[in-house]
């Protein structure tokens, strides 16, 4: 399985130009405490590939999975790929990298 690690600058560009959909796989309480602006919550503990597929199809932007530090997003990538979804990118540094850099959060 191919996993493409994206860095913060790549994520910022994708959000800025409107081409990237960040799918946050952290748990609800983590997401609610702060998340990357515009990120959509789909916790790994209840990860539903069909719901993610429907989101991607209706949204049309390039899907990128994100979590706290880049571990759970890889697990979500594996689950998505196993279900037949064509997702290979994740934000390697995740929310911890984003927050530590002083980027805006919601």
Segment 24-43, tens digit of pLDDT = 999 999 999 999 999 999 99
CATH domain 4-101 topology: Oxidized Rhodanese; domain 1 (3.40.250)
Sheet holding 89-91, edge to edge: 4-6, 89-91, 62-66, 20-24, 40-41
Distance CA 70, CA 82 (A): 19
Segment 55-90, tens digit of pLDDT = 999 999 999 999 999 999 999 999 999 999 999 999
pTM: 0.95
So what's the pLDDT on residue 64? 98
Q: Where are the domains of the chain?
A: 4-101
Over pLDDT 70: what percentage of the chain?
A: 99
2 falls in which pLDDT band (50, 70, 90)? Answer: confident
3 falls in which pLDDT band (50, 70, 90)? Answer: very high
Q: Write out the two tokens for 8.
A: 């913060």
Above 90 in pLDDT, residue 96? yes
């Amino acid at each position: 399985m191919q996993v493409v690690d994206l860095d913060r600058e790549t994520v910022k560009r994708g959000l800025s130009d409107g081409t990237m959909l960040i799918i946050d796989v952290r748990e609800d309480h983590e997401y609610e405490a702060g998340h990357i602006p515009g990120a959509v919550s789909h916790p790994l503990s209840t990860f539903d590939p069909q719901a993610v597929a429907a989101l991607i199809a209706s949204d049309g932007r390039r899907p990128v999975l994100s979590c706290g530090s880049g571990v759970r997003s890889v697990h979500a990538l594996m689950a998505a790929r196993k279900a037949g979804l064509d997702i290979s990118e994740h934000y390697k540094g995740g929310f911890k990298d984003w927050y530590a850099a002083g980027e805006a959060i919601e």
